Structure 1
Amino acid sequence: MNPLRFTTALLLLSALACRAAPERPNIVWLTSEDHGPEMGCYGDPLARTPHVDALAAQGMRYRLVWSTAPVCAPSRTAIISGLYPSSSGGIHMRSRVSLPPGMHLYPHYLRAAGYYTTNNDKEDYNLRAPANLWDASSKTAHWRNRAPGQPFFAIFNSMKSHESQIRKRPHTAVTDPAQVRLPAYHPDTPEVRQDWAQYYDQVSAADADAGARLREIEAAGLAADTIIFYYGDHGRGMPRSKRWPSNSGLHVPLVVYFPERWRHLAPADYTPGGESARFVSFVDLAPTLLSLGGTPPPAWMQGQAFAGPHAVPGRTLLFGERGRMDERLDLVRSVTDGRYVYLRNYLPQVSQGQHVAYQFQTPTTRIWREHYDQGKTNAAQSLFWQVPKAPEELYDLTTDPDEVHNLAALPEHRPVLERLRQALRSHLLEVRDLGFLPERELHARSGTDTPYALARDPARYPLELILETAELASILDPAATPTLVQRAAHADSAVRYWATLGLRLRGAETVRAQAGELTRALADESPDVRIVAAEAFGHFGTAEQRSTALAVLRGLASPGENGVFVALSALQAIEALGDHAAELHPFVAGLDPNGPLPDPRFNGYVASLIESITGKSPAKQP
């Protein structure tokens, strides 16, 4: 062949190959910590957020987005996986679980599609991630370091609005504390107003960080090739927002911008400067990202793509979840249809305002608790601290945006209650929610398998029966007592746990009537069952029964002997007994808070409970 013709043919083939290779947009996520839709583009008159407001004026904001969980680690777990944390087993704060082989986190799929992926810089997942998950994940990670012409996906996260920055002093105030609107649940004090004003100032600082990143893209001449998202990682960092799975803790801003060149990938309702009424959950972010990058989302992802070629019709409900928050155990699930918010409290014996040590560093938390203890709070302000909390809560956001008037017991709202109750129950069964296993039991049953795989094995995890027992236990209907007594002897330890807890929750009369069953539970092979039986007798038993119960709790409180999960449960029970367990306080004060940890991030949890019980930091161990 003529060499000139051969060369020409190669050039032609190369050109055709380049033309055939799919072009992919650059994608940037600008994220910020601990803030809700208190922004100018969402209509807040006090907000100063010019950069995101300008992005929204060119792009589109979403009216209702829920972060799945109201705290960072499980929230980010949902984002990175496209799975509800309760479904993967990563619901509990700073836990660490694995996914089955073949199920990958979204950067894996983007890299396989040719993307250069960077994260700057927070990860904080409750799922184990491979060391090479990202091309770069650090404070210096940046899209500039990609290969020439390579499409990139980059996250830039701002810590400026994080809870820790709300309480940082000294602070040069910009927002006038007198101008902030306090929610109905917060007392009106100088400390509360300063925290709220500082929150607004810190959201402005996060907005400035976003502005700096937007200028970088513009200066590099990449604005026409880059799709941009801005969102907060969960609701605002103020108490009764962060950590609580109501709208106040889950509602976040989401602004998306599609340049003209990539407008064909935009959502169907995309209107520059407009607002989308489509509901978005954080489990939707990974499928949407993959769709924009040209990769079909894996079928196992529970989210729904809302943009790109693999977008699907929107959802009609959003779901939230709360598990263990640092050292404090809880189990709450929630759902909204956009107007009503329904919460189901499966552990009504603990308050919304449990003493999470980190949360109590915020002045608002401390002054709010002091006012409650002094009898200075009204009904709306007292709700956060009261025990027991209502098993079911229902709020109408149109008339009660602060969610303080519980409609669950009102006959006229019964149809809404039952509709959302059933929708939530169906969701829990569909995603195979693992939160109904005590945390120790979750890991013990998983063994060498993964929690995700465990949840899908009905023989090892009979969720329908466990969930039904948890519902009967926590709804507090006396008519369920005979069933609970029967199930307290069931072969499955999680069924026994919930049945025994149900007897404890029904109070003194039931505990006395079922003393024989509870005595057997004190010797159960499951430490979780033993702990709830001991707490029942500790509250309502005879002197002899209480003595036996305290001996059981004493034997389970050491993390070195029992592991951190059992120790946390036992210590929380000891604290709940108050003066009834006073004789154990010297023993607790002398405990070594250190023991084998499932992850170093658990460090300090046991120590926080010891200090909360005794009022003193744990003794130094030799």
Structure 2
Amino acid sequence: MIRFFAAFALLFAASSGFSADRPNILWLTSEDNGPQLGAYGDPYAVTPNLDTLAGKSLRYTRASSNAPVCAPARTTVISGIYPPASGGEHMRSMTKLPDGFKMFPQFLREVGYYCTNNSKEDYNLEKPGTVWDESSNKAHWKNRGEGQPFFAVFNYTISHESQIRNAIDEKDRIHDPAKARVPAYHPDTPEVRKDWAQYNDRITMMDAQCGKALKELADAGLVEDTIVIYWGDHGSGMPRSKRWPYNSGLNVPLMIHVPEKWKALAPQDYEAGGTSDRMVAFVDLAPTMLSLVGVEAPEWMQGTAFAGKLQKEAPQYSYGFRGRMDERYDMVRTVMDQRYVYLRQYMPHRIYGQHIDYMFQTPTTRVWHDLFAEGKLNADQSHFWQKKPAEELYDLQTDPDEVHNLADSPEHQAVLERMRQAHRDWVFRVRDVGFLPEAEIHARAKGGAPYTFAHSDAYPLEAIFEAAQLATSMKEADLPAIVKLLDHPDSGVRYWGATGLLCQEAAG
């Protein structure tokens, strides 16, 4: 009996002490918006609540999603693993994590956190057990036990791509289309301006929702106990942002507010109202949340903690990817540093703007396509409807809209080679399984986790990667070597041989 009460006392002491030695964490996330906020210097934006939060937070200027669309992006966030490594890169696919792997809220629950998600999940991974204490449109930190710390997520969908084209109340139309900034790759038409204006109207509505969540926290007297993090899930929902792993599709707003009570957990460069140019990506969120609660990230997590007692040195690069988007296949890998964006196109025989039904419901997409068909666009605007080069390189300092490809520039060959090598190093470090066709990934995994297969000797990544490089070079001189790939014993290599013939025909 004495032992029982002693054990109970220890358990009670541990559980009741959580709120004293661990912070609450509140996530506010929004759909389909890049850094189109007043706090990020956008004069067109009307975002008073997030601007106020930014004034008390550290704001990241080089934060990025790893994917330019929601499900693969959220798959990265929840697992701390790049989807090309887990097999979950394709939109609304479904795969497994290896035995023993967890989604990061499970680690938080194990140390006493009450974890809620309100409410979008959209993971391309099967959940390995119970991930959330609550996950619904009613989930809330208010339902936790007395004295229990919380990790609470509120996802706001009002800024989603679909809301650009859906009806909006006239009272919510506050942005003048005539004052909208039209990027260089879009045609300047009334339809495009109207869509950009309504997109910004939706961002303002999202900002109001964030304001309500922050007021709830303040009304409960929890501001000083809670670390607040806001992020958007990828670039804007406008075409050539969403779905395309340019900076315009990957760059996101990210800000973190750390109250004085928890300043020991703040990022090393933390300054309230300040900015950081540290390269931060979604793959870093899981290990960072573990670091904030004092839990060592498992070795299989592929990101780097940027806050908490276990934060690490900043990485030099961020990485992006694109796989199948809805009904259309494509394959792109992206490397970004402080200044440059490198894209390696692995299906250059396909145009950028393949017909995706959901995307074509946006008026901008339709008018843009029609003007191209009528020959009424300039070169920068036409690019989206044409076949792709194998490589692209953009200088964000001089070309923020990413329309001037420097891959053939003699002055930029050293940068190009450096980014190429960074891409190659990443592919082999994470064991990118996306170099196999989607169905082949699952066939070779044999009902198990693609991650496990990709990290075994059964995956001849080097041979397949080199075949992909050769096949998609778009160089006529490579044709004889490409043909030889068709006789290789591995079907993955043969796949790239066949793809190479399509590329040769397109380059013709």
Instruction: State the TM-score bracket (shorter-chain normalisation).
Output: over 0.9
Pick aligned residue for 1:86 from 84, 87, 101: 84
Match of 1:419 in 2: 418
**What is the rounded CA distance, in whole Å, between the counterparts of 1:15 and 1:349 in structure 2?**
63
Match of 1:504 in 2: 502
**1:338 aligned partner, one-letter code:** Q
**What is the rounded CA distance, in whole Å, between the counterparts of 1:20 and 1:336 in structure 2?**
39
**What is the rounded CA distance, in whole Å, between the counterparts of 1:438 and 1:184 in structure 2?**
34
Q: Deviations over 1:402-432 (max 9, x none)?
A: 0011111111111111110111111111111
Change (3 A) 1:108 1:17: closer
Change (3 A) 1:150 1:21: closer
Match of 2:123 in 1: 125
Change (3 A) 1:343 1:509: closer
- TM-score normalised to the size of structure 2? 0.95
Give the superposed CA RMSD.
Answer: 2.0
Change (3 A) 1:58 1:302: same
Q: Is the 8 A contact 2:19 2:147 kept in 1?
A: no
Match of 1:209 in 2: 209
Match of 1:266 in 2: 266
Q: Deviations over 1:127-147 (max 9, x none)?
A: 111462100000000000001
Change (3 A) 1:23 1:507: same
Deviation at 1:21, TM superposition (A): 9.1
Alignment of 1:245-324 (within 5 A): 245-324=245-324
**What is the rounded CA distance, in whole Å, between the counterparts of 2:401 and 2:375 in structure 1?**
21
Deviation at 1:503, TM superposition (A): 2.4
Match of 2:452 in 1: 453
Change (3 A) 1:425 1:509: closer
**What is the rounded CA distance, in whole Å, between the counterparts of 2:57 and 2:321 in structure 1?**
30
Match of 1:48 in 2: 46
Change (3 A) 1:22 1:220: closer
Deviation at 1:169, TM superposition (A): 2.4
**What is the rounded CA distance, in whole Å, between the counterparts of 1:346 and 1:73 in structure 2?**
21
Match of 1:431 in 2: 430
**1:337 aligned partner, one-letter code:** D
Change (3 A) 1:170 1:220: closer
Alignment of 1:370-449 (within 5 A): 370-387=370-387, 389-449=388-448
**What is the rounded CA distance, in whole Å, between the counterparts of 1:104 and 1:270 in structure 2?**
29
SS in 1 for 2:303: coil
Structure 2 residue runs of 5 or longer lacking an equivalent are none
Q: Is the 8 A contact 2:394 2:402 kept in 1?
A: yes
Q: Deviations over 1:488-547 (max 9, x none)?
A: 10110010110122123212999xxxxxxxxxxxxxxxxxxxxxxxxxxxxxxxxxxxxx
Q: Is the 8 A contact 2:336 2:342 kept in 1?
A: yes
Match of 2:487 in 1: 489
**What is the rounded CA distance, in whole Å, between the counterparts of 1:509 and 1:290 in structure 2?**
48
Alignment of 1:470-485 (within 5 A): 470-485=468-483
**What is the rounded CA distance, in whole Å, between the counterparts of 1:327 and 1:225 in structure 2?**
45
Deviation at 1:93, TM superposition (A): 0.2
SS in 1 for 2:21: coil
SS in 1 for 2:155: strand
Q: Deviations over 1:141-166 (max 9, x none)?
A: 00000010000000001011100001
Q: Is the 8 A contact 2:267 2:308 kept in 1?
A: yes
Change (3 A) 1:148 1:381: same
Alignment of 1:89-108 (within 5 A): 89-108=87-106
Q: Is the 8 A contact 2:278 2:314 kept in 1?
A: yes
Q: Deviations over 1:206-251 (max 9, x none)?
A: 1111000000000001111000000001110000000000000000
Which has more radius of gyration? 1
Change (3 A) 1:285 1:96: same
**What is the rounded CA distance, in whole Å, between the counterparts of 1:108 and 1:16 in structure 2?**
18
Change (3 A) 1:21 1:131: closer
Alignment of 1:438-587 (within 5 A): 438-458=437-457, 460-507=458-505
Moved more, 323-332 or 131-140: 131-140
**1:53 aligned partner, one-letter code:** D
Q: Deviations over 1:353-406 (max 9, x none)?
A: 11110000000000000000000010000000102x111111111111000111
Pick aligned residue for 1:77 from 75, 88, 100: 75
Change (3 A) 1:422 1:145: same
**What is the rounded CA distance, in whole Å, between the counterparts of 1:438 and 1:444 in structure 2?**
10
- TM-score normalised to the size of structure 1? 0.78
**What is the rounded CA distance, in whole Å, between the counterparts of 2:434 and 2:338 in structure 1?**
25
Match of 1:556 in 2: none
Q: Is the 8 A contact 2:389 2:474 kept in 1?
A: no
**What is the rounded CA distance, in whole Å, between the counterparts of 2:246 and 2:11 in structure 1?**
58
**What is the rounded CA distance, in whole Å, between the counterparts of 2:249 and 2:14 in structure 1?**
52
Deviation at 1:15, TM superposition (A): 7.7
**What is the rounded CA distance, in whole Å, between the counterparts of 2:17 and 2:49 in structure 1?**
36
Alignment of 1:104-115 (within 5 A): 104-115=102-113
Match of 2:60 in 1: 62
Match of 2:227 in 1: 227
Moved more, 373-382 or 124-133: 124-133
**What is the rounded CA distance, in whole Å, between the counterparts of 1:197 and 1:353 in structure 2?**
22
Moved more, 411-420 or 66-75: 411-420
Deviation at 1:259, TM superposition (A): 0.7
SS in 1 for 2:478: helix
Deviation at 1:83, TM superposition (A): 0.5
**What is the rounded CA distance, in whole Å, between the counterparts of 1:130 and 1:11 in structure 2?**
31
Deviation at 1:168, TM superposition (A): 1.1
**What is the rounded CA distance, in whole Å, between the counterparts of 1:38 and 1:12 in structure 2?**
49
Pick aligned residue for 1:169 from 164, 167, 170: 167
**What is the rounded CA distance, in whole Å, between the counterparts of 2:283 and 2:101 in structure 1?**
15
**What is the rounded CA distance, in whole Å, between the counterparts of 1:28 and 1:407 in structure 2?**
41
SS in 2 for 1:358: helix
SS in 2 for 1:328: coil
Q: Is the 8 A contact 2:103 2:128 kept in 1?
A: no
**What is the rounded CA distance, in whole Å, between the counterparts of 1:268 and 1:216 in structure 2?**
29
**What is the rounded CA distance, in whole Å, between the counterparts of 1:509 and 1:384 in structure 2?**
17
Deviation at 1:12, TM superposition (A): 12
Deviation at 1:449, TM superposition (A): 2.1
**What is the rounded CA distance, in whole Å, between the counterparts of 2:182 and 2:367 in structure 1?**
14
**1:441 aligned partner, one-letter code:** E
Change (3 A) 1:476 1:85: same
Match of 1:141 in 2: 139
SS in 1 for 2:384: coil
Q: Is the 8 A contact 2:37 2:51 kept in 1?
A: yes
**What is the rounded CA distance, in whole Å, between the counterparts of 2:162 and 2:56 in structure 1?**
32
**What is the rounded CA distance, in whole Å, between the counterparts of 1:456 and 1:94 in structure 2?**
23
Deviation at 1:480, TM superposition (A): 2.3
Change (3 A) 1:13 1:290: closer
**What is the rounded CA distance, in whole Å, between the counterparts of 2:191 and 2:425 in structure 1?**
43
Structure 1 residue runs of 5 or longer lacking an equivalent are 1-6, 511-622
**1:336 aligned partner, one-letter code:** M
Deviation at 1:477, TM superposition (A): 2.1
Q: Deviations over 1:265-299 (max 9, x none)?
A: 00010001100111101000000001111211111
SS in 2 for 1:273: coil
Higher helix share: 1
**What is the rounded CA distance, in whole Å, between the counterparts of 1:397 and 1:151 in structure 2?**
41
Q: Is the 8 A contact 2:18 2:112 kept in 1?
A: no
SS in 2 for 1:160: coil
Q: Deviations over 1:275-324 (max 9, x none)?
A: 01111010000000011112111111000011111100101111100000
**What is the rounded CA distance, in whole Å, between the counterparts of 2:408 and 2:14 in structure 1?**
68
**What is the rounded CA distance, in whole Å, between the counterparts of 1:402 and 1:322 in structure 2?**
19
Change (3 A) 1:257 1:483: same
